[in-house]
Structure 1
Amino acid sequence: MAQFTVLIPVLNGAELLGEALASVESQTLTDVRVIVSDNASTDATPEILEAWRDRVNLRVIRQEKTLPIPTHFNALLDAIETERYMLLCHDDYLADPDALRLADIALDENPDAPAVYCDLAYVNTQRRPLATRRFDRAALFSADEAGRETIRTTRNMFGIPLGVRTAALGAHRYDPRFHYLTDVDLSWSMAKGRNLAHVPQPLIANRYRAGNTTWSLLGQARSEYLAFAKKHGVPLGPLGKARLSARIWTLNQQKKLFGLYGRMVERR
């Protein structure tokens, strides 16, 4: 039985889903299972998944109706039967054929780490590079420090998990209170008080495009950060809340500028 599962949630992802699947197909790690949850797509997503059935070790879950993001992601977590997994958004892809093998090695070498992360490549719809996010941290980093720094900077200081131990996930699930911070909250919840592993290479390509779900959630970032800080026991106070609001405003402007840059690259 496969020991590593790649979970892919998708909703009307016919345009880019094949690239995500191709990046898994090209991995040098063997015995990889792929579970795709189709969140009641109305485009050609089902046909694309059918065409991939014989190319990867694929299981398709078809949702009868469109589920909220946390509920949809949790349905995938409930389907894991392997020791390790990663969740790959359908419009992202693994940027290196050795990505999963390196995740596997990092988890083997750090048996107490609940998960492993990596640097990120930001790309546009045509896979043209926009930027690289290098975290510049040690091979092991504190989950608690990353969580507190996320609140201080209003940036995801964990990154995207490249590999997670299913045993560490346990009963933890995506909290339905969070949409903008859903990944960060789960990262901290399952690793509280522990160290996480990091591979200093851009092994996941995170695609920036107009249809990204993240863009539509920026308006609720402040309320989610306040709830996130409260949940994880980080006191803010009036001054801390004011600083949080200022940082979120600044971050929104930066994201808008980056989105403009991405559109300019596409027109070249």
Structure 2
Amino acid sequence: MARFDILLPVKNGKAFLAEAIDSVRAQTFTDWRLLVLDHGSTDGSREMAEAYHARDPRIQLHSFPHAQGLSGLLNCGLDIADCEFVMRHDADDICLPERMAVTLAAFEARPDCAAVGGQADVIDAAGNKIGDMSVPVGSARVSAASLFRNPVIHPAAALRFDEVRKLGVRYGVDMLKVLPEHQRLEVPGLAEDYFLFGQLAVMGKVTNLPQKLLRYRWHGNNVSAARYVEQMEMSLAISRSLTRSFCTMHDIPWFDPAPFCNHGGILFDVGGQMNFDVEYARMADALRRGFGPSVELERELSYRKTISTRNGAALLWRYNRFRTAHVPETNDWSAVRGWLIRRLPGKRRLSVAPELA
């Protein structure tokens, strides 16, 4: 049994697969097993993985061509894992050399955490850095942020495997099971990672490290680029499901998180309403009661207060005040900017209806 099993799903990903595998082989920590989960590739990805296995038996190919979506494929990977920690890696990303060592140290320092993530560079198809991907640091920030956006970079994350078994962690399913069965969400794809880590975060079992662990590749074939609107709609459904579970768990009044979400760097047009300060006060009270007071929570609430208006001038003024007090993270500014330019030709708002209690 290796300490780390790495789940690497692939379907026709030969273009970047060698770089992804090589970055695992270059880790300073060497007690690992790489499980390449093939989803019916026809471009030579399977053959490439087999060739790597011939050179390094720690690399294993497993074919699941009939798995139901990415959730099903990753669950197949969880079924065959046998390890202390299970790590995610994508077929087009690059692990930084210390990723496993840093992640292991974090798990050892935080025995209460079921999942650990970190920060990432963003690179283009050619491997050139084009940006940074920054997410909340610390479990309190991750928990609060999880109701409004995905606070974890999925291919930079790892799970404590005994917690996976104990909690029944699966992709795409409601493992909290605090809602009536007819209200429980299923997420076969598009945002299955958000649903999994969001549920763990609501339980206070996820943290992010300040270190960069990954080079995340952004190109036209990313799901986030190819099926953007569908992904945003699914992400909002997850936010609402997580919020209902959170409020049920803590016996506090439900609130609609939609006005305060910034999934994918956008603000939703929620029923055409322009001011959500009253709704913000209810939401902030719920989070303080459920998560308990903390500096980390107040930082998260500061941003949610910023975007509780849809008036352009007020929104910009609030954001400028916010950034004088806090370092913005990925999608903080882009959500504000996107709303401000929504009336330009070719731009559109993503409109959603308010959800009733």
Shorter chain as denominator, the TM-score bin is 0.7 to 0.9
Decide which moves more: 72-81 or 102-111: 72-81
Q: CA deviation at 1:147?
A: 0.9
Q: Structure 1 residue aligned with 2:153, among 151, 159, 165?
A: 159
TM-score with structure 1 length normalisation? 0.82
User: Does the CA-based 8 Å contact 1:132-1:202 persist in structure 2?
Assistant: no
In 1, Cα distance between equivalents of 2:118 and 2:136: 10
- CA, structure 1 residues 74+105, in 2 after alignment: closer, same or farther (shift >3 Å)? same
In 2, Cα distance between equivalents of 1:191 and 1:241: 18
Q: Which has the larger radius of gyration?
A: 2
Q: Deviations over 1:1-36 (max 9, x none)?
A: 311111100000111111110000000112101101
Matches within 5 A, 1:117-266: 117-135=117-135, 137-138=137-138, 140-150=139-149, 156-160=150-154, 161-170=156-165, 171-175=168-172, 176-234=186-244, 235-237=254-256, 241=258, 247-248=267-268
In 1, Cα distance between equivalents of 2:259 and 2:129: 35
User: Does the CA-based 8 Å contact 1:118-1:199 persist in structure 2?
Assistant: yes
Structure 1 unaligned segments of length 5 or more: list them.
151-155, 255-268
Q: CA deviation at 1:56?
A: 5.1
Q: CA deviation at 1:191?
A: 4.0
User: Which residue in the other structure is 1:50 paired with?
Assistant: 50
Residue identity in the other structure for 1:173: R
Residue identity in the other structure for 2:198: W
Which structure has more RCO (C-alpha within 8 Å, separation ≥ 6)? Answer: 1
User: Which residue in the other structure is 1:260 paired with?
Assistant: none
* Alignment coverage as a number of residue pairs: 244
Q: CA deviation at 1:195?
A: 4.3
In 2, Cα distance between equivalents of 1:204 and 1:89: 10
User: Does the CA-based 8 Å contact 1:6-1:33 persist in structure 2?
Assistant: yes
Residue identity in the other structure for 1:172: V
Q: CA deviation at 1:157?
A: 2.0
Residue identity in the other structure for 2:103: A
User: Which residue in the other structure is 2:116 paired with?
Assistant: 116
User: Which residue in the other structure is 2:62 paired with?
Assistant: 61
In 1, Cα distance between equivalents of 2:260 and 2:4: 41
User: Does the CA-based 8 Å contact 1:40-1:66 persist in structure 2?
Assistant: no
- CA, structure 1 residues 45+222, in 2 after alignment: closer, same or farther (shift >3 Å)? closer
User: Which residue in the other structure is 1:88 paired with?
Assistant: 89
Q: Deviations over 1:34-84 (max 9, x none)?
A: 101110101111221121012250221112446412111211121111010
Decide which moves more: 69-78 or 189-198: 189-198
Q: CA deviation at 1:117?
A: 1.1
In 2, Cα distance between equivalents of 1:163 and 1:52: 23
Q: CA deviation at 1:123?
A: 0.4
Identify the structure with the greater strand proportion.
Answer: 1
In 1, Cα distance between equivalents of 2:57 and 2:268: 41
Aligned-residue CA RMSD (Å): 2.4
Structure 2 unaligned segments of length 5 or more: list them.
173-185, 245-253, 270-333, 339-357
Identify the structure with the greater helix proportion.
Answer: 2
Q: Deviations over 1:158-185 (max 9, x none)?
A: 2334321012223121114252321111
User: Which residue in the other structure is 2:331 paired with?
Assistant: none
User: Which residue in the other structure is 1:78 paired with?
Assistant: 79
- CA, structure 1 residues 244+187, in 2 after alignment: closer, same or farther (shift >3 Å)? closer
User: Which residue in the other structure is 2:37 paired with?
Assistant: 37
In 1, Cα distance between equivalents of 2:259 and 2:136: 29
In 1, Cα distance between equivalents of 2:141 and 2:48: 40
Residue identity in the other structure for 2:137: R
TM-score with structure 2 length normalisation? 0.62
Decide which moves more: 14-23 or 221-230: 221-230
Q: CA deviation at 1:217?
A: 2.4
Residue identity in the other structure for 2:152: F
Q: CA deviation at 1:227?
A: 2.3
Q: Structure 1 vs Structure 2: percent identity of aligned residues?
A: 22
User: Does the CA-based 8 Å contact 2:124-2:130 persist in structure 1?
Assistant: yes
